[in-house]
Amino acid sequence: MKWRHGGIVFDEHEIEEARKKLDKEPHKSASRHLAVKAGLALGFQSNREQGILSVPDFYSDREGRDQAVRDFDKSGQAMLSCASMFRLTGEKVYRDKVIELADGWTGKITGYGTPQAQYEANWNLQTMVVACELIGGRQVVELLRFLE
**Tens-place pLDDT, residues 95-139:** 999 988 888 887 777 888 888 888 888 888 888 888 888 888 666
Distance, in Å, from the CA atom of 123 to the CA atom of 101, rounded to the nearest integer, reads: 17
pLDDT for position 109? 78
pLDDT for position 4? 47
Cβ(44)–Cβ(75) under 8 Å?
Answer: yes
pLDDT for position 55? 84
Q: Residue 22, Cα to own-chain centre: how many angstroms?
A: 23
The string of pLDDT tens digits covering residues 28-85 is 888 888 889 999 999 998 877 777 888 888 788 888 888 888 888 898 999 999 998 9
Cβ(143)–Cβ(125) under 8 Å?
Answer: yes
The Cβ of residue 77 has, within 10 Å, a number of other Cβ atoms equal to: 18
Q: Find, among 110, 115, 116, 146, the residue nearest to 128 by Cα.
A: 146
Residues 15-19: what's their mean pLDDT? 79
